[in-house]
Each structure stands twice: as C-alpha cells, then as structure tokens.
C-alpha cells in the first residue's frame, strides 16, 4: 500500500468521525461498490466520495495533508458542499477547519489549492451553467483560505 492510499484511509476515518458527530442518534451507513460512503439520519445525508479526497501539502512541513469534499443532501436534494481541511502533524491527522462552500476542489500542488467557484448562487437557474464557473487558486494560511492574485 503506497503512502497516499494509507493516508487516504486515515483521512476517511477522520471524515467519518466528523460526519457522525454532525448527525442525530439513528444513523445509517452504506458502503457502495465504488468506495462511496453514504452516512445519514432522518434529516440529512452526507456522501463521502474517495475521489474527492485531495492529498497534498497544505502547511509548511513535509507531511501530506488533505481536503475532503463532502456532498450534503436534505432528502433527495443536494443543498451544499462541505470541505474538511485535515493536517498531518508529526503523523497525527487533525481536522483543522470545515468550510461550507459550493466550490469544487480540482487539486493541491506545491501548497496551491486550485478550485472552481460558481459565479451564481445555488438558488439561481444559472448555478449549473458549465461556463459560469471561475478557476481560482488559494493557499491555506493560518486556518484560512487566502486567494492568490
């Protein structure tokens, strides 16, 4: 098992703990064939897709960190996305920040987070317009996303 796959398992574990803590008492968990994990209660459902775990360097050390993007549903409607920033410090994974945002993380390379951001809000008919997304670069500095101009 390469280190990214080993790390991915740890990032998934932290993500599942976070999601479980945000759900009510009676939660259900489905492990789908493609590796997707669906966790939910009677009100809210979180979808954890292993393809949306972006591993790279977010802080100044040489340990790989991650952003895990979650899809959140109320009933059958996706209401938002949430991004978990998990930092690897000395081999210990720590959830530093969660951010609700409709941005789509594309990758992390050399400390630069590349994401697409919608030009229209989720309640706009143009929200899913394919040409209405802007590509933006960020750095994760002191727990905050800072746009790179």
Instruction: Give me the tens of pLDDT residue by residue for the chain, a chain 149 residues long.
Output: 455 666 788 999 999 999 999 997 789 999 999 999 999 998 899 999 999 999 999 988 889 999 999 999 998 888 999 999 999 988 899 999 999 999 999 999 989 999 999 998 888 888 888 888 999 999 998 888 999 98
* Structural domain contains residue 24: no
* Structural domain contains residue 55: yes
Residue 2 burial (CB count, 10 A): 7
- Looking at residue 139, its pLDDT comes to 94
* Structural domain contains residue 96: yes
**Spatial CA neighbour of 85 closest among 103, 77, 121:** 103
The residue range of the domain holding 54 is 3-16+37-147
Residues 6+ positions from 142 with CB-CB distance below 8 Å: none
- Looking at residue 2, its pLDDT comes to 54
């Amino acid at each position: 098992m390469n280190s990214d796959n080993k790390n991915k398992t740890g990032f998934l574990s932290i993500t599942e703990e976070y999601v479980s803590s945000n759900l009510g008492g009676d939660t259900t968990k489905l492990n789908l064939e493609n590796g997707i994990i669906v966790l939910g209660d009677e009100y809210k459902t979180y979808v954890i897709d292993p393809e949306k775990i972006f591993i790279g360097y977010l802080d100044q050390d040489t340990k790989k960190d991650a952003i895990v993007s979650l899809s959140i549903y109320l009933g059958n409607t996706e209401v938002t996305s949430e991004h978990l920033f998990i930092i690897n410090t000395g081999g210990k994974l720590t959830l530093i920040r969660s951010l609700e945002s409709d941005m789509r993380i594309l990758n992390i390379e050399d400390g630069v987070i590349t994401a697409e951001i919608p030009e229209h809000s989720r309640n706009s008919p143009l929200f899913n317009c394919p040409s209405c997304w802007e590509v933006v670069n960020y750095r994760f500095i002191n727990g905050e996303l800072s746009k790179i101009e």
